Amino acid sequence: MKKVGVAILGLGVVGGGTYQILTEHREFYRKTQDVDIVVESVLEINRERALALGVPEEKIASNIAEVISNPDVNIVVEVIGGIGVAREFVLAALNAGKTVVTSNKELFCKYSHELERAAKRQNVGLYFEASCVGGVPIIRTLLDGVQANHITSMMGIINGTTNYILTKMSADGVGYEEVVKEAQRLGYAEADPTADVEGYDAAYKLSILSSLAFHTKVPFAKVYREGITGIAKEDISYGKEFGYVLKLLAIGKNSEKGIEVRVHPTFIKKEHPLASVNDSFNAVYLTGDAVDDVMLYGRGAGALPTGSAIVSDIIYASTHSENKYSTFKNNASAEKDVKFVQDFESAYYIRLTVEDRPGVLAKLSSVFGKYGISIVEMIQKSAGEDGKVPLILITHTTKELSIRNAVNKINALDGVGQVDSVIRVVS
């Protein structure tokens, strides 16, 4: 039976979960996979944490050199996070001829070209299933499940923190700030939630997933990004009146016009499969030219779900002798002949506060007409004490730049009011 030695860099939440799975399931993998996977080394600053998890003291390494010089280590698992020390350690492991498994979406998004070059030089593996959507096997699906297809689009809820926040805002009718504090108290959100709530985490993942799906490098800089910090509970409530649910969506499309990649709050019809993905769950909805629609759903984060993805990569690397790399030129930037769509098309939800007097709607209609924007539905609420009324519109599909220009024009109109919210809509 083949024996494979593993080293784990970092025993935090995910690293601890990975260690637990590998040790508890060792005999199971011997029986079902015909491979004996042994944790030979861990690198953890907090030795007490490692000992508490059951790591033998002699297997706790003091530095990365000790790990990569260990002849019993075949696979190095990086779960440190960030791009400083993690990048240094991963490159050191690859250059030492060790296969690497990582859950680090920021590192892989920004430096996969550098890591893959090192892996190719040493003819070792580089695996990253756990970098995107936790325990949901989206990367293996793209690489080994739907490769018969031209993937034309993907749409997903790929950040559990923001999905939890929006779910609670919708269910309980409370504001953003209150829900964020609750999410932090429960451990769903970090003390500094910026990476999640401003859409960076989802954008890193979309960069990785769209590169794989569309077989061309899609750099992080090409992803349009907008977070959920500006979402008001009123918008969620008004959206419900139109039959919509609000989600932070990652959207990728590949058409004759070019590649379109964007992360932003989006209203989707309550009947759409993604609308029922709540709390910290994630899902990705793929469309291929042969398979049509496929949706993968599950836990997007957590010690054991993410650990499951890491161990899946370890088993795959242990049972496959041939190393696979990108199906495209994996450089720091996109290929010169690849077009990216900036002025994308969408329907839009627009909430305005306007003066309750004759002529206001005519002025608004004039602006919308100038930019070719037509309205599908409209709700006008009762006037407040200040004599102003909320006006909520849903547009037909139109251009992003047309909406931006119209909003700027409306905000400059004397005595009309202001645009309070613009949210894209997927029917």
Nearest to 149 by CA among 205, 206, 207, 213: 213
Q: Which pLDDT score, from 0 to 100, does residue 159 have?
A: 96
Q: Which pLDDT score, from 0 to 100, does residue 188 have?
A: 83
Mark residue 3 as left, alpha or beta (left: phi above 0; alpha: psi -120 to 50; beta: remaining).
beta
- Residue 147 token pair: 């490769």
pTM of the predicted protein model: 0.96
Helix %, strand %, coil % for the chain, to 5? 40, 25, 30
- Tallying the residues shown for the chain, one arrives at 427
In this prediction, what percent of the chain has a pLDDT beyond 70?
100
Mean pLDDT to the nearest integer, 136-145: 96
Amino acid present at 180? V
Nearest to 114 by CA among 148, 87, 143, 154: 87
Which tens digits make up the pLDDT trace of 226-244? 999 999 999 999 999 999 9
| Domains observed in the chain | 2-131 (3.40.50.720), 138-299 (3.30.360.10), 345-426 (3.30.70.260)
- Comparing 48-57, 137-146, 353-362, the range with the smallest average pLDDT is 353-362
Contact 396, 346 (CB under 8 A): no
Which tens digits make up the pLDDT trace of 147-169? 999 999 999 999 999 999 999 99
Q: Which pLDDT score, from 0 to 100, does residue 174 have?
A: 93
Task: Please classify residue 262 by burial: count the beta carbons closer than 10 Å to its beta carbon, then call 0-12 exposed, 13-18 middle and 19+ buried.
Answer: buried
Which pLDDT band, with edges at 50, 70 and 90, does 387 fall under? Answer: confident
Which tens digits make up the pLDDT trace of 21-34? 999 999 999 999 99
Has residue 384 got a pLDDT over 80? no
Mean pLDDT to the nearest integer, 41-57: 96
Residue 398: Cβ within 10 Å count: 18
Mean pLDDT to the nearest integer, 383-409: 92
Active site positions, annotated: 205
Which tens digits make up the pLDDT trace of 270-329? 999 999 999 999 999 999 999 999 999 999 888 999 999 999 999 999 999 999 999 999
85 sits in which H/E element = helix 85-95
Distance CA 239, CA 90 (A): 45
Task: Please classify residue 120 by burial: count the beta carbons closer than 10 Å to its beta carbon, then call 0-12 exposed, 13-18 middle and 19+ buried.
Answer: middle
Distance CA 75, CA 373 (A): 56
Nearest to 80 by CA among 314, 310, 282: 310
Mean pLDDT of the chain: 96
> How far is CA 216 from each of CA 73, 140, 154, 207, 211, rounded to the nearest angstrom?
33, 17, 15, 10, 5
Q: Which pLDDT score, from 0 to 100, does residue 49 have?
A: 95
Which pLDDT band, with edges at 50, 70 and 90, does 73 fall under? Answer: very high
Has residue 386 got a pLDDT over 80? no
- Comparing 26-30, 215-219, 354-358, the range with the smallest average pLDDT is 354-358
Q: Which pLDDT score, from 0 to 100, does residue 203 have?
A: 98
Which tens digits make up the pLDDT trace of 335-349? 999 999 999 999 999
Q: Which pLDDT score, from 0 to 100, does residue 388 have?
A: 86
Contact 246, 235 (CB under 8 A): yes
Mean pLDDT to the nearest integer, 114-142: 97
